[in-house]
Amino acid sequence: MRCPFCGHKEDKVVDSRATAEESAVRRRRECLKCGKRFTTYEYVEEVSLLVIKKDGRREPFDRKKILAGIIRACEKRPVSVEKMEEIVTQVERLIQKKSDREVPSTKIGELVMEKLKSIDDVAYVRFASVYRQFKDVGQFMVELKDILGKDKKRKTEK
């Protein structure tokens, strides 16, 4: 394991524990050269999945791509990196349980949107605007009205 700060190859594990869903092992490490700490995650390698893109191409499933999209959607929002990682893990698990070896990218996007909608409306709308490729403000407004309508319904139920 190379230190992400100085590139040194030796470190020590300071803390090790399973993630909330016990799908990975989270390790806090300390570089023996520069002393900085960093986190690594170990995952069990599952059967490789192929993602069927909208244009029909197939490519290997990459959790980093999903995380990158979620990070962009959650930028400057009160959503922790741990929560974002948890969403990616939940989506990955759902896909592995429900599909054979191939999954449409549309299914992945829908699952991510479902998870984001339950934790942060702004992040959800950001992700949805890119994922659904809103062509104009009208489509954007339809999504916002849906969210606002659900907020009103929640408030009246309380």
Give the tens place of pLDDT for each residue, 93-122: 888 887 678 899 989 999 999 999 899 988
- 3-state class (DSSP) for residue 60: strand
- Confidence (pLDDT) at 96: 83
Listed by start position, the domains of the chain span 1-44, 48-157
With contact defined as beta carbons under 8 Å apart, do 50 and 62 qualify? Answer: no
Q: What is the mean pLDDT of the chain?
A: 86
Q: Is the pTM of this model over 0.95?
A: no
- Confidence (pLDDT) at 151: 56
Q: What is the DSSP string of 112-125?
A: HHHHHHHH-HHHHH
Whether the per-residue pLDDT at 62 is higher than 70: the answer is yes
Mean pLDDT of 45-64: 86
